[in-house]
Amino acid sequence: MDATKQIALQRIRTLFRLAREVIHEDPSLAQRYVKIARKIAMGTKLRLPREYRRLVCRHCKSFILPGVNCRVRIQSRRGPHLVVTCLNCGKHSRMPLKSREK
């Protein structure tokens, strides 16, 4: 990975850390941090790491943190999966849970 992508990844990590720290006091500032982080990723053609992608709603692109503005449930129907409900837009995201068979 070249230097610009390294710097971009560091800034994205910093912005997500700040967003996580400040969401309880000022949710709009946390949303702004995540918006800037996404812009950095798009500008450098860098894919957000999985742990950060899961903190952004796929539908309304808002910063979601479990227990603050999203609900997380585990469902076993149709294969075990995680259902994350964004409390800003009300949409659901489903993520499969890996089975430990192999």
Query: Do 76 and 94 meet the contact criterion of CB atoms below 8 Å apart?
Result: no
Q: Average pLDDT, stretch 91-99?
A: 88
- Give the pLDDT confidence score for residue 98 in this predicted structure: 81
Q: Is the dihedral angle over the CA atoms 62, 57, 54, 75 positive or is it negative?
A: positive
Identify the CATH assignment for 3-96 out of 1.20.5.420, 2.60.40.10, 3.40.190.10, 3.40.50.300. 1.20.5.420
Place 79 in a pLDDT band, splitting at 50, 70 and 90. confident
Are the C-beta atoms of 4 and 44 separated by less than 8 Å? yes
pLDDT of residue 82: 92
pLDDT at 15 over 70: yes
pTM score of the predicted model: 0.86
Model pLDDT for residues 32-48, shown as the tens digit of each residue: 999 999 999 999 999 99
- High-pLDDT (> 70) share of the chain, %: 95
**How many CB atoms within 10 Å of residue 81?**
15
Strand, coil or helix: 27: helix
User: What is the edge-to-edge ordering of all strands in the sheet holding 81-86?
Assistant: 70-75, 81-86, 92-96
